[in-house]
Structure 1
Amino acid sequence: MTRFRPCIDLHAGSVKQIVGGTLSTNNAGLKTNFTSEHPSAYFAELYRKHDLRGGHVIMLGPGNDEAARDALTAWPEGLQVGGGLKDSNARDWINAGAERVIITSFLFPSGTFSLERLQSVLTSLDGDSSKLVIDLSCRRVGDGWRVAMDKWQTITDFEINEENIRMLEPYCSEFLIHAADAEGLQAGIDERLVSYLAEICTIPVTYAGGGRNVQDLELVGRLSGGKVDLTIGSALDIFGGKGVTFDECCEWNKRRNRSG
């Protein structure tokens, strides 16, 4: 059953909402929709108060470790964390209070998927796949999608398709998939991608990118048969948006919890 998933996106130590396609190593051309006056822990405590589980804390570049740890301290085992994670530090973040760790770029050295690296991450987690979320954030290429890494600037050769999804599912508990071309634009979700994810995935999936309002929650629910969750960022009032209020999203989840 489709639910709203919260997020805390960190950039240079602050909670921000950024147009995903403008991220780069030197931040040239970076477009920021919102920078919060509140620290990361404020949002973690807010999500904890409303029991909004499965939210992701994403570190967009360096300088975010302290802010991420503050969020995890505010809600131990209530949040997932990602951004620069690998086999050498995944366990550290679990020990710091993350419910799950999210891995992306480490799995794609030189833009090619490495099963060996995925296995090394799982080994660092003592083989516990329930602690691992694989981030398959992607960009459109032709008629399909390929995973994008390094702040979504490098398009890998890894296609989002049923064969690849089946290969990855035994190693993780969830997928997190940002549609990078839609991220931060508040221009609507990628309907084809949401439908396709529901078709090929058998484990939980959270989609992010373009969500604007409660109607988009309804749309994701309808397109996916309730199998895909939706993260709403820039359109949310707590992030300076005007499309939907945080309270509306909480009420959406409450209704879903009551009905099933």
Structure 2
Amino acid sequence: MRFRPCIDIHNGKVKQIVGDTISDLGRADGQPKENFVADKDAAYYANIYKADNLNGGHIINLNMKGTKEYKASMEEAIKALSTFPNGMQYGGGVDDKNAKEFIDAGASHVIVTSFVFNDGRVDYDALKRISNAVGREHLVLDLSCTRVDDKYVIVTDRWQKVSKEIITYNFLDRLAYYCDEFLIHAADVEGRQNGIDRDLVGFLEVGS
């Protein structure tokens, strides 16, 4: 087992939020529920992970691409990546046009979900493009999911949209050709401080 650290950035601040409370519409104040807002910047935490040799963690920009808040969070992320070059992955607003920029900025991998989905399904043309843009060895597919009945369904657009793709072993095998790793959060329990989704962990462990 390896410990993988995480730096979530929202509105230019390092935060821990309740995962499924992100909303571009619907909440009166437009803000997710926060458990913790750090008084240190992202580079501070990246430096700690570097000192402790904790490779393979991820930095996630939680803001919507194209907003001023996204830009502020991006600036924080770039500083953290340069603090721990090749030590952390980056996700948030990544596509085939900008993916290489994050690798050049110090990310070991880029993390994508929404870019490779179209109308709720994996767009294999988009997946091939981004895999070719950075090399499969630098690509992580975020397959974070929510439970629907007895199945785990992938959620996209910062966990706001339930896709039509169900996590199965055959599905994972097909995607593995294009990437180096999968990143799978249980969106229903993320940030709620109530432990893990044991059923999801057990399902993934059986298939590993």
Q: TM-score range by the shorter chain?
A: over 0.9
TM-score scaled by length of structure 2: 0.92
SS at match of 1:185: coil
Is residue 66 of structure 1 aligned with residue 75 of structure 2? yes
Structure 2 partner of 1:121: 130
Runs of 4+ in 1 over 3 A off after TM superposition: 26-29
RMSD: 1.1
Structure 1 partner of 2:110: 101
Is residue 39 of structure 1 aligned with residue 48 of structure 2? no
Q: 147, 151, 155: which one pairs with 1:148?
A: 155
TM-score scaled by length of structure 1: 0.74
Cα-to-partner distance string for 1:26-71 (whole Å, 9 max, x where unaligned)? 4636200011010000000000000001000001012311011000
SS at match of 2:90: strand
Structure 1 partner of 2:58: 56
CA distance in 2, matches of 1:151, 1:169: 22
Correspondences of 1:208-219 after superposition (within 5 Å) = none
SS at match of 1:4: coil
CA distance in 2, matches of 1:87, 1:141: 31
- On the 8 A contact 1:77/1:97 being kept in 2, the answer is yes
- Percentage identity across aligned positions? 44
CA distance in 2, matches of 1:152, 1:190: 16
Cα-to-partner distance string for 1:81-125 (whole Å, 9 max, x where unaligned)? 001111111111101110111111111122221111100001211
What are structure 1's unaligned runs of at least 5 residues?
Answer: 202-260
- On the 8 A contact 1:139/1:180 being kept in 2, the answer is yes
Report the more deviating stretch, 129-138 or 104-113. Answer: 104-113
- On the 8 A contact 1:165/1:200 being kept in 2, the answer is no
Cα-to-partner distance string for 1:114-166 (whole Å, 9 max, x where unaligned)? 111100001211xx211111100111111011110111010000111111101
Structure 1 partner of 2:176: 169
Q: 61, 75, 85: which one pairs with 1:76?
A: 85
